[in-house]
Structure 1
Amino acid sequence: MIMIKPIPPFLFYLIGALLVPFLKGQIQKLYLLIIPTLAFLDLLSMPQGTYWTIKFLDYQLVLGHVDKLSMVFAYVFVIISFAALLYALQAENDVQHFSALYYAGGALGVAFAGDLFTLYIFWELMAIASVFVIWAQRDKEAIRAGFRYVLVHLFGGCALLAGIVIYAIQTGSIAFSGPLVHGGLGFWLILIGFILNAAVPPLHPWLPDAYPRASVTGAIFLTAYTTKSAVYTLLRAFPGVELLAYMGAIMTVYGVVWAIMENDIRRLLSYHIVSQVGYMVGGVGIGTALSMNGSAAHAFCHILYKALLFMGAGAVIYSTGMRKMSDLAGRDLYKKIPHSLIYYMIGAFSISAVPLFNGFISKTMIVAAAEESHMLPVFFLMSTASIGTWLCVGLKLPYYTWFGKQRTDVKEVEIKPLPLNMHLGMAFLSFLCFFIGIYPHVLYRVLPYPVHYHPYAPHHVVGELQMLLMTIVGVWVLIKRLEPHAVINLDTDWFYRKGAGLFVRFCYFLGAVRTVLQNLAIDLVDGFIIISRNPIYDIKSLFSEKETQLLPYDANVYRQPVGIGVMVALILFTLFCYIFYTVLATLIT
């Protein structure tokens, strides 16, 4: 029996994107949805193993290392590409569609890469494609944010490439099928490259800076791929690195604290990406089967509900043209765009780990693993962050966006109706968030390790409900103190923004110094040229009491023979050589 090798799923995206600019109208919309559908069908028929190997120099490049870990990420990468493309069908933006397909293809390439060089190629493909997704918004802020984004990721890419080269030299291996050999400069440089894409503080500001600047539809793709691809690589290469457990725990709280202070709805949600990815990074660091399964499951669920949250927020921006809660509050949007509120709240219940929603069946796995591993600081920080998540995403943002105290000082805005495809995209993800929350075994059976966890055990449900209910009481008491204000919140990007400005000014200073020195050198050379035309006359003029000027050459006026000038030059050169070789001989002896 002849076995037919499966088609690399990323090829559907990379090759399919090439036809997008040539298709228009309904044909293009149908074509965009066919690409992820074919890729998903390809995944369903893909057995585990190693495929698509290429011999390069003395190394074996593996484009298809297929196991349960790579498949769980590949499934959700394809699913979210379908939902995001469905949500974005009304956008007549070929640049965004093309870049988004390459972005998704790059993420799939990372998920199946079996060696570090192949991983790097797809890693950089993601970085390039994602910045064009940001630039597709085509406004001043998006362009600036895109440049900051790409500069940060260039640094991360350089660290990753340097680490790969050093690691290959140190170990003689570029395999990416299991944990990397611990220790050595290459190991740590690769880790830096990965945690930068995972938005681990203080390397995180690129995320809340760039994601809110993308278009309403383009931001959906951004929420899915870069950070979760980084989580996948950490799960693959750095399981059980305890440092990651504490870094992840800090991330969970850090993102929540900054989100509480935010006014821009998508910037608030962006900080919660940092917080939620912290759970996944922490699960990698804990390193048990339960925590690793939790990280993979939470990445899967997070992609779905975070995209849904951005879709709900994007629907508000699309309908009103406003993105700040201080502008949206008090406009009774719950009456004008109620469907977006319903979809958003399903995402909010999911991210807040409300029972019956998908976040509950994944986040609690990681928190339980921290408790079982007796990492009490990690357990405490993650539990505290859960309170802040419900407070921000489930209570503050919807209250000040769709509700808020009635205001008379605002002008009425025309509500732009949402196209059908945006409703379908949000409904599709809402269904998945609810379905996986009710039937967790659908997800658990594709996780990389056997699952021995029961999310709906009474102590899990009761504990989570207690925390959620007490948070509601706290918000009810302190709701006025949570009121958003039109302020700018500083983050660690202040250092490289200010540092970059100082560096540019320093470069301008060096340029000015160079210009002054260059002009002095030019004047000096010009002076030597003039003097060399009549050195004897110039020497005489130095000892003359009268101020004289250098006269131009006149054939009718007697001049000293040129040999005198040559003789003086030879005497000076001989003197210089004598001094130079004397000093050199002294130094040598």
Structure 2
Amino acid sequence: MSDLFMGISPAIPVVLAGLLAVILPWHYARKVLMVLSPLAALFLLLITPQSGVYGVVEMAGLSFETYRLDNISRVWGLVFIIAAFLNGIYAWHEKDRMSDPSGLIYAGAGLGAVFAGDLLTLFFFWELTAISSIFLIFASRKGEAYRAGLRYLAISVLSGVLLLGGAVMLYNTTGSWAFGGVGDVGVFSIDTPGGMLLFLAFGIKCAFPLLHNWLQDAYPKATATGAVVLSAFTTKLAIYALARGFAGTEILIWIGAIMTAFPVFFAVVENDLRKVLAYSLNNQLGFMVCAIGVGSELALNGAAAHAFVHIIYKGLLFMTMGAVLMRVGTTKASHLGGLYKSMPLTTVFCMIGGAAISAFPLFSGFVAKALTLSAVLHEHHYIPWLILVFASAGVLEHSGIKIPYCAFFGHDGGHKVKEAPFNMLLAMGLASFLCLYLGINYGALYNLLPYAVEYQPYTYDHVVGQMQLLLAALFAFTFLMRFKLYPAEKDITILDTDWIYRKVLDGAARWSCAMLDRLGGAMDQGWAGLGRTIRKGLFNLFSPAGSFARDVPSGIMAVWSTLLLAVVLIVAYIYAS
């Protein structure tokens, strides 16, 4: 039986389920597809006995490798399947014909890109993730969501265009479309034009500094379930592409370090808790990017482990905020508080997600982040290591403390609401279980990683050092809150570097358009005046009362004839000489 399905990419059943969901009118039929198709993908992954290239399709003289399985694609493929399954359970209650197929096709496209063995196949699924995911933003059916979705689509398509351009340039240079061989990592160089285009393409979707605003712009405007789905695939797909294509590229160490640090300051003052999570996502991606830049086996294991657990606990945090949005109608911190009374289980799950992302011992974030920090320190990158340590404390402040405190505790917002629906609680419960299970039985996580792991996270020095860091962050938050030094939650818009194009460039464009309109009006007036002058001159010459109709004395005509003849003679003399 298994031989019949051998070589079929796990992406296929998920994408097909999404296409079928487009035409299915029955709500529960679509929901069944959302739960069963990831299980079908898992079956296809498990029956593949060993690493290799499968599902090769020959078309138009090109060879498309649709299913390349190795140690690194297996990790990302498995966690993408888990995320798709949890998302299907979480969205079971939602009756939206736009979100269901979009979420399925998006998840399937992410799987297809992870298992792509060549750059053309990668490009196809890369663009499919962009096109399918925008409907998760549009599904909120608000004007600001449509505008954010269009901006998100423009940035995503730009990333794809750069990817295709880089692939073509590399093909012209090397004669190959390959995206690394089985087990190969770090196969591209930013010193070549094609490699640089690929680097930028991956960097846009990875939300590099100054290229990150699409994330904070779009994710908080998606639906309650849409933000959960969005948090899982796009940026982690970019991390996978960087790990396979640019491992050991040293500039990534500094890019990653910056990514971990700058979101902390924005998250502290941001009022929208889903936007806080979006900044936190930037922060966590920075750890993975930094590890990829180091490029050692320990560091790449750290990036893979961090991506695996991050998809789960960040999805859990977005799930809790999605439940709050569904019941209360907002995730603005200034409007929340006291929800632990009405939503006690959601409160517990949010605190588990906060503990996991903050890397508390016994939680998944602790055993994953330890690999990256150890790898960076082992390779003597001391300044980036210090930045990562600072950023680790910042994670606890904004994701581990601020979100649970502002949403469920703090001042009482007076909301008397129901607990989240059962399917939401089930999905959050499963994610919470994985956060704890992988933190305690870390061997199960380490056995999935691309390289053999000989590392013990629960050493005395590491546990004590991490607890000291966490307790210091807890003390700082308590101190600032007690003496009212912590930034007050205000319902205002915090502008990031998007201020450049939201204000400066927008103002410059509007001014330019106004000046062009004025210039066009002046030119229209000038042409109109010139036309009137010409018409008047012609009228004066050729009308019955004009100059040509008058009687002219013969003497005057003789003078003009003499002058014209003189001019003709002078010109003829000059050319004759």
Deviations 1:194-243 (A, max 9, x none): 01100111100111111010011111011011100000000000000000
Deviations 1:15-60 (A, max 9, x none): 1112224141433322321111111111111232111223345542
Match of 1:248 in 2: 256
Match of 1:276 in 2: 284
Shift of 1:525: 6.8
- Within 2, Cα distance between the matches of 1:544 and 1:504? 54
Shift of 1:450: 1.1
Confirm whether residue 286 of structure 1 aligns to residue 294 of structure 2: yes
- Within 2, Cα distance between the matches of 1:58 and 1:518? 56
Counting only pairs closer than 5 Å after superposition, residues 70-85 of structure 1 correspond to structure 2 as 70-85=73-88
- Within 2, Cα distance between the matches of 1:2 and 1:418? 39
Of residues 359, 366, 376, the one that matches 2:365 is 359
Counting only pairs closer than 5 Å after superposition, residues 141-540 of structure 1 correspond to structure 2 as 141-177=144-180, 178=184, 179-182=186-189, 183-329=191-337, 332-405=338-411, 412-479=414-481, 480-482=484-486, 483-498=488-503, 499-507=505-513, 509-510=515-516, 513-514=519-520, 517=523, 536-537=541-542
Asked if 2 retains the 8 angstrom alpha-carbon contact of 1:100 and 1:133, the reply is: yes
| Residue identity (%) | 38
Shift of 1:535: 8.7
- Within 1, Cα distance between the matches of 2:310 and 2:547? 84
Match of 2:555 in 1: none
SS of 2:341's equivalent?
Answer: helix
Amino acid at match of 2:395: T
Asked if 2 retains the 8 angstrom alpha-carbon contact of 1:318 and 1:416, the reply is: no
SS of 1:333's equivalent?
Answer: coil
Deviations 1:122-173 (A, max 9, x none): 1111111111111111111211211221222233222222222222222222
Q: Which residues of structure 2 form unaligned runs of 5+?
A: 551-563
Deviations 1:409-434 (A, max 9, x none): x6x44414421111111011111111
SS of 2:63's equivalent?
Answer: strand
Shift of 1:112: 0.8
Amino acid at match of 1:404: G
- Within 1, Cα distance between the matches of 2:119 and 2:517? 41
- Within 1, Cα distance between the matches of 2:517 and 2:101? 41
Amino acid at match of 1:385: A
Asked if 2 retains the 8 angstrom alpha-carbon contact of 1:531 and 1:538, the reply is: no
Amino acid at match of 2:465: G
- Distance change >3 Å, CA 511–CA 120, structure 1 → 2: farther
- Within 2, Cα distance between the matches of 1:22 and 1:433? 35
Shift of 1:260: 1.1
Amino acid at match of 1:171: T
- Within 2, Cα distance between the matches of 1:248 and 1:500? 30
Amino acid at match of 2:101: F
Bigger drift between 285-294 and 442-451 goes to: 442-451
When the two chains are superposed, the root-mean-square deviation of aligned CA atoms in Å is 2.7
Bigger drift between 136-145 and 483-492 goes to: 483-492
- Within 2, Cα distance between the matches of 1:112 and 1:389? 31
- Distance change >3 Å, CA 354–CA 40, structure 1 → 2: same
- Distance change >3 Å, CA 415–CA 517, structure 1 → 2: same
Match of 2:11 in 1: 10
- Within 2, Cα distance between the matches of 1:267 and 1:206? 11
Shift of 1:539: 11
- Distance change >3 Å, CA 544–CA 246, structure 1 → 2: farther
- Within 1, Cα distance between the matches of 2:115 and 2:63? 14
- Distance change >3 Å, CA 515–CA 542, structure 1 → 2: farther
SS of 1:89's equivalent?
Answer: coil
- Distance change >3 Å, CA 485–CA 57, structure 1 → 2: same
Shift of 1:541: 3.7
Asked if 1 retains the 8 angstrom alpha-carbon contact of 2:113 and 2:122, the reply is: yes
Amino acid at match of 2:489: P
- Distance change >3 Å, CA 203–CA 334, structure 1 → 2: same
SS of 2:66's equivalent?
Answer: strand
Match of 2:93 in 1: 90
- Within 2, Cα distance between the matches of 1:13 and 1:512? 55
Shift of 1:95: 0.7
TM value normalised by structure 2: 0.88
- Distance change >3 Å, CA 76–CA 501, structure 1 → 2: farther
Shift of 1:473: 1.6
